[in-house]
Amino acid sequence: MKQKLIIIALLLGITSTAMTAQILKRDKWECKVFAGYNLGGTSPLPLPAEIRKINSWNPRITGTVAFHVTRWITPDWGLTTGLAIDVKGMKISADVKYMYTRLEVGEGDNTGIFSGTFSGKNETTVQNGYIVLPLLATWRPKEAWTFRLGGYFATCQSRKFEGSASDGYIRSGGPTGDRINIEQATFDFSEEVRKVDAGLMASADYFFTKKMAVFGQLSWGLVPIFPEDFEGLSYKMYNIYFSLGLAYRL
């Protein structure tokens, strides 16, 4: 009888140890999936003097889908990485003055491609798709709240940066160049958008159930979307977007 009790005790001990190891392992790793909507813009910082007035802004159909893995080093602190598909874009209309650009004019007395300072109405459409790899420090002060701060690296898989110019004129070659009236012209800089992006990322989750959370995420690009030798615009532009959506803990 004593031997049976010893065997049962040993089996219970082994089982308990195995279960505890599994619980600890599960507690150290956390997986989540996210889906959200992107709001923001691909914008110069600060807004240059050439942009005199923003007439309209449309976020278009943009969003993010992500999978995150967190390794908890302590109960409160961890490291998060993962993979995301991120579509960033906008459509914006503005009045501009002396904005250096490159336009293709297909109608009127002067046709062709002109580089110079444009004054008039500008409409730009941006829609770029990225695969994003984040690396974030993670803090969980309470069971319901999680905060993350760090950086990201992204590769651009689809590129769109195009628009139109109207109701104005361009000074070919610069401010003192020949004046060419523009009723309607177009530009397409899609192929010149950088294939990489990198910047800062900050986000927060609030779990309203054990599995479901609302999340907000800010990604602030530090790499201009056009290379240094790009001559289509005289100022640098960056991806600055805020995502809002739902997360699910696996």
**Fold type of domain 28-249:** Porin (2.40.160)
Would you state the pLDDT for residue 226? 95
CA 92 to chain centroid = 17
Mean pLDDT to the nearest integer, 112-118:
86
Would you state the pLDDT for residue 107? 67
Considering only residues 130 and 8, tell me which one the structure prediction assigns the higher pLDDT: 130
pLDDT tens readout for residues 176-187? 778 888 889 999
Spell out the residues 6+ positions from residue 154 whose beta carbon is closer than 8 angstroms to its own. 86, 130, 131, 132, 133, 196, 197, 198
Spell out the residues 6+ positions from residue 60 whose beta carbon is closer than 8 angstroms to its own. 89, 90, 91, 125, 127
**220-223: long-range contacts, CB 8 A cutoff, minimum separation 24:** 221/197, 222/198, 223/194, 223/196, 223/197, 223/198, 223/199
Domain ranges across the chain: 28-249
Q: For residue 73, which amino acid is it?
A: I
Q: Does pLDDT of 17 surpass 70?
A: no
Q: Does pLDDT of 61 surpass 80?
A: yes
Mean pLDDT to the nearest integer, 223-244:
93
pTM for this structure?
0.84
pLDDT tens readout for residues 204-215? 999 999 999 999
Tokens matching residue 212: 């479901």
**What are the residues facing 44 on neighbouring strands?**
none
Q: 69, 29 in Cβ contact below 8 A?
A: yes
Q: Does pLDDT of 10 surpass 50?
A: no
Considering only residues 41 and 16, tell me which one the structure prediction assigns the higher pLDDT: 41
pLDDT band (50, 70, 90) for residue 22 = very low
Q: What percent of the chain has pLDDT over 70?
A: 87
Mean pLDDT to the nearest integer, 80-108:
90
Q: Does pLDDT of 58 surpass 50?
A: yes
pLDDT band (50, 70, 90) for residue 174 = confident
